[in-house]
Every structure is written in C-alpha cells, then in structure tokens.
Amino acid sequence: MSTSPFEQRSLLITAGATRTGAAIAQYCLSQGARVFLNFHSNVEGATQIAGEFPPGQVTLLQGDVTDPEKVKQLFEQISHSGQGLDGVINVVGDYHEEPVMQTSLDSFHHVLHNNLDSAFLLAKNAYPLLKTAASPRFVNFAYAKGDHVTSARAWAYHIAKMGVISLSKTLAKEWGPDQIAVHSISPGTLFNSIVTESDDPKDYIPQGRFGQYADLWPVLDLIFDPRSTYQTGNNFILSGGYNV
C-alpha cells in the first residue's frame, strides 16, 4: 500500500486559518502530516481546524510573519517542540487591486512588505531546521500571470509576487548543496478563494472553469514526494491556461 508524501512529515503552513491556507492545512493534515498552523488574527478559524484532527497533530502558532521578532519566536517554538521541520508552505500575501495613479505609496509599500518580507524572513529562519531534515521542501505561493506579463489593476501584487518567484529561484540555487528543494506555486483564479463570481471563466480561461483548491493537491503531492529529489526552482502554474 502506497503512503502519502505527507505521512509523518512536519510542516509549517502560514496564513493557515483562512481560505487557501486553511484548505492546504486541512489537506496535509488529512494525509497524515503534523502541522504547525500559523495565523495572524483568525483564532476561531485556526481553533476550528485544530479541533478537526487528533490532539497533537496541529500546533497553533499565532504571529505576524512580516515581523522579524515574531518570526524568530515562531521558529523557536518549532525548534523546542522536538518535532523537527520537513517543509514550509508559505501562503501569506495580501492582494491589492487599484490603478497605479490611484495607489498611495503606503498601499504600495504594504503589498511589497506583506508579500516579500514574509517570504524572506521565513526562509532565513527556516533554513537551520530544514537543512537537518530528510527531503526538505520550501514552497511559496505566487501568481499565475507569470514573470513578465503585466496586470493592469493588480500591478502592485504582481510586482510583489514576481519578487517571490525570484526569491524562490535564488533560494533553490543557494540551498541546492543542502538538498533543500524550493518551489513556487502560482494559481490562476481560484473560485473558492474569491468573494463573488464576477466573470464567466470561459471568457478568459481556456479550460473554461475557475480553479478549485483540489487542483493544488497533485502539485503539492509531487513537490513533497520524497522521490522528487532532482527538481528545484520550479514555478508551478495552475491556471487552466489563463496565463498562456
């Protein structure tokens, strides 16, 4: 009988109490992972997820992962738990949609800070634990528009996520000798992560439908499969052809 690539793996999942992060946490937990569930303010959501699984399988870690001191404390808790750390799935990243000429400098800086500082700080603090693990993985969530395609209204978010992709590729090179695989995942329009269905997907998605959280599972399975030892630095685009 084959086992899940998440069986008995110890993972940190950020933004794990809402939407995409919560769905990923629930999937990994259902596949036998032990999860350090990071959240910023949604205590109710995090507590609900923890209550769905056996005691000890979920460790709740509240904290803002754009704050250097909070991130340091978070990893101290992981280290002191004695469970080790096999992987990080970083889902943090505030979205902002507004034309350039209407965007304030504060709003622009917030999007960059939230998306990029979190990825940078998590990488810096995760490295000492990941390099001692077997088949360690570090995954950042990015954006399916790709590296060089502009986004008229979500331009600040796009710039930030291009930075996340670049950081992920840099880490893949820097951490290669330590056998730590680093990837980014870039979803397109996830229907169950947006508030309302504002468009007909057939108008701009070749496959004619919005993405579902379940579309993420095969890619996560591939990334975390212990046999996937010779791939790193990938940006997995899951968009139904939206970015083509």
Q: What is the mean pLDDT of residues 239-243?
A: 77
pLDDT score recorded for residue 211: 84
Beta pairing, strands 10-13 & 181-187: unpaired
| Two structure tokens written together for 179 | 């056998």
Domains defined for the chain, CATH in brackets: 10-238 (3.40.50.720)
pLDDT score recorded for residue 195: 44
Q: What is the mean pLDDT of residues 207-230?
A: 92
Model confidence at 1, pLDDT cuts 50, 70, 90, reads very low
Q: Which helix (H) or strand (E) is 45 found in, with range? A: helix 43-51
- With a pLDDT cut of 70, the percent of the chain lying above it is 92
Number of H helices, E strands in the chain: 7, 7
Q: Could you write out the three-class secondary structure of 158-208?
A: HHHHHHHHHHHHHHHHHCHHHCCEEEEEEECCEHHHCCCCCCCHHHCCCCC
Question: pTM for the whole thing?
Answer: 0.94
pLDDT score recorded for residue 202: 75
pLDDT score recorded for residue 241: 78
> What span, in angstroms and rounded, lies between the C-alpha atoms of 174 and 182?
10
120 by Cβ neighbours in 10 Å (0-12 / 13-18 / 19+) ranks as middle
pLDDT at 94 over 60: yes
Q: What is the pLDDT of residues 134-175, one digit of tens each?
A: 999 999 999 876 556 667 778 999 999 999 999 999 999 999
pLDDT score recorded for residue 2: 56
What does DSSP assign to residue 89? E
- Distances from the Cα of 130 to the Cαs of 29, 141, 201, in angstroms? 20, 18, 39
Number of residues that make up the chain: 244
Helix (H, G, I), strand (E, B) or coil at 148: coil
Q: What is the pLDDT of residues 14-60, one digit of tens each?
A: 999 999 999 999 999 999 999 999 999 999 999 999 999 999 999 99
- The answer to whether the beta carbons of residues 74 and 129 sit under 8 Å apart is no
Q: What is the pLDDT of residues 200-213, one digit of tens each?
A: 777 777 888 888 89
pLDDT at 238 over 90: no
Sequence-separated (6 or more) residues with CB below 8 Å from residue 109: none
Averaged pLDDT score across all residues of the chain: 91
| Two structure tokens written together for 232 | 């790193």
pLDDT at 76 over 50: yes
- The answer to whether the beta carbons of residues 201 and 210 sit under 8 Å apart is yes
**Nearest partner of 122 among 162, 81, 156, 168, judged by Cα:** 168
pLDDT score recorded for residue 196: 45
- Distances from the Cα of 48 to the Cαs of 11, 22, 156, in angstroms? 18, 10, 33
- With a pLDDT cut of 90, the percent of the chain lying above it is 79
